[in-house]
A = this chain, B = another copy of it.
Amino acid sequence: MTLAKDVSLCHHYPSDMTRWQPDARGRLEQAALELYGERGFEQTTVAEIAGRAGLTERTFFRYFADKREVLFAGGNALQELLVAGVAGAPDEVTPIDAVASALEAAGGRLQERRDYARRRQAVIAANSELRERELSKLASFAAALAEALRARGVDEPAASLTAEVGIAVFRIAFERWVEATGEVDLPELIRESLDELAALAS
Contact = CB atoms under 8 A, between A and B. Distances in A.
Interface of A: 94-96, 128, 131-133, 135-136, 139, 157-158, 160-162, 164-165, 167-169, 171-172, 175-176, 193, 196-198, 200-202
B200 A158 contact: yes
6 contacts: A131-B136, A132-B133, A157-B175, A160-B172, A164-B172, A165-B168
Contact of A172 (B128, B132, B136, B157): B157
A202 B195 CA distance: 10
Contact of A171 (B136, B164, B171): B164
Most chain B CB inside 10 Å of its own CB: which residue of A133, A135, A193: A135
Contacts of A96: 200-201
A200 B158 CA distance: 8
Contacts of A136: 128, 131-132, 135
Contacts of A158: 196, 200
Contact of A200 (B131, B161, B168): B161
